[in-house]
Amino acid sequence: MAAPLTQFDVLAIRREFPILQQEVNGKPVAFLDSAASSQKPRAVIDCLEDYYRRYNANVHRGVYKFSEEATFAYERARGKVARFLGAASPRELVFTRNATEAVNLVAHSWGSANLRPGDHILLTLMEHHSNIVPWQMLAARTGAVLDYLSLDGEGRLVLEELDSKLNERTRLVAVTHQSNVLGTINPVQYLAERAHAVDAKLLVDGAQSVPHMPVNVRDLGCDFLVFSGHKMCGPTGIGGLWARRELLEAMPPFLGGGSMIKVVELDHSTYADVPARFEAGTPAIAEAIALGEAVDFLNTVGLEPIRQHERELLGYALERLGELAELTIYGPHDCEQRGAVISFTLQGVHPHDVAAVLDSDGVAVRAGHHCTQPLHRHLAVPATTRASFYIYNTPEEVDRLVAGLAKARKLFA
Ligand SMILES: Cc1ncc(COP(=O)(O)O)c(C=O)c1O
């Protein structure tokens, strides 16, 4: 990557992202949809190309130079990501396609082995479909029961409900670290303590936290954490599951095939040690290596400075958006309790029309239910418009968002 950034200089950071140098509809692009997928720095793009140009080969199989180099780079990336998350060992880190696949891995492997009819899984009303549907499927297979923590008027968990909703039948609590709609940052450490007090496990959906703030699995005290590479400056097609070693070692395989076995007989097989047991088939090699590069990039900028930058942008955006009458913003008012994701409705204008007007000015936001239909039902709106901020966004882009919303209001008044 380029020279280390010694302090947080957003314009220097922007220059590392080739895609942001473009214009859209005659305007410099203001990319405010990083909660869906972030942009990629030059170092990550170059890393992908370097693999295919210089040492493309399958991992863990060849004794020739390219394969050895690919295997070394793939396993080095695992180590980088494991360290980034504060894991005790790289063996605790399983590469998956994305956060969704990681949740499904836990639901199939740990869930099928550990849940019995009548056991409880506790979720929350703010979960992404990725952290709901796999548990519904597990409940249908096992006879387990789902329950949900509700939300207060500012989109925070109603923690008092833990007293009644956590009990000796609860086997798992699965919660997002940061909501992709409300921005709410949940008290994961507290939830871990409460879950463990009834002998339940805690799964944390880190898809929206890992890219934006320091996340240390040992400090959080969780049992499982899932994340996606494409939201943290890495490529698509790569993400991961972190799990405590003893849990992972006790889990049966999820997918069967090559690379996950020790010995294959005609009628049975024995399985590889973790994490290989959970990485059947040829993995996303280039993507994993480039995710390691993305982690280097984020570490160079620093996760504390990134969080601080986003907190400042969030504060400014909430203040400026507050000037607009007829705008309803969802989520906590206090910037300490939320990340830089702002979902809103503009009275009388459909969220898709809001997004289309903004796009005409080169401002990219997302409109819809953001894969959170139960949450939108709770908010009593079918859809919202969402602006989400990252490492490369500036206060000027917030101003353009606000100007675009005023324009949308006028057009549809
Ligand atoms: C909170 C949250 N969890 C899970 C996911 C799923 O991520 P992926 O589609 O990369 O698996 C997302 C994606 O938007 C998300 O925001």
DSSP string, 52-119: IIII---TTT--SHHHHHHHHHHHHHHHHHHHHTT-S-GGGEEEESSHHHHHHHHIIIIIHHH--TT-
% of the chain beyond a pLDDT of 70: 98
Distance of alpha carbon 161 from alpha carbon 186, whole angstroms:
15
In angstroms, what CA-CA distances link 258 with 59, 118, 172, 245?
12, 36, 31, 22
Q: List, by residue range, all CATH 3.90.1150.10 domains of the chain.
A: 10-37+302-412
Q: Are 204 and 224 in contact (CB under 8 A)?
A: yes
Q: List, by residue range, all CATH 3.40.640.10 domains of the chain.
A: 47-299
Crossing angle of helices 303-321 and 285-301, rounded to 10°:
80
Q: Are 9 and 306 in contact (CB under 8 A)?
A: no
331-341 average pLDDT score = 96
Beta strand residue intervals within 133-223, DSSP E: 145-149, 170-176, 201-205
User: pLDDT tens-digit profile of 96-133?
Assistant: 999 999 999 999 999 999 999 999 999 999 999 999 99
| Topology classification of domain 10-37+302-412 | Aspartate Aminotransferase, domain 1 (3.90.1150)
| Topology classification of domain 47-299 | Aspartate Aminotransferase; domain 2 (3.40.640)
User: pLDDT tens-digit profile of 216-244?
Assistant: 999 999 999 999 999 999 999 999 999 99
In angstroms, what CA-CA distances link 4 with 14, 25, 98, 300?
14, 33, 28, 6
pLDDT at 7: 57
Distance of alpha carbon 334 from alpha carbon 342, whole angstroms:
12
Q: Are 386 and 35 in contact (CB under 8 A)?
A: yes
The CB of 176 under 6 Å from ligand 1? The reply is: yes
The CB of 184 under 6 Å from ligand 1? The reply is: no
Distance 54 CA to ligand 1 centre (A): 32
Q: Closest Cα partner for 40 from 20, 67, 64, 24?
A: 20
Distance 126 CA to ligand 1 centre (A): 12
Residue 61: band (very low, low, confident or very high) from pLDDT cuts 50, 70, 90: confident
From the alpha carbon of 239, which atom of ligand 1 is closest?
A: 10
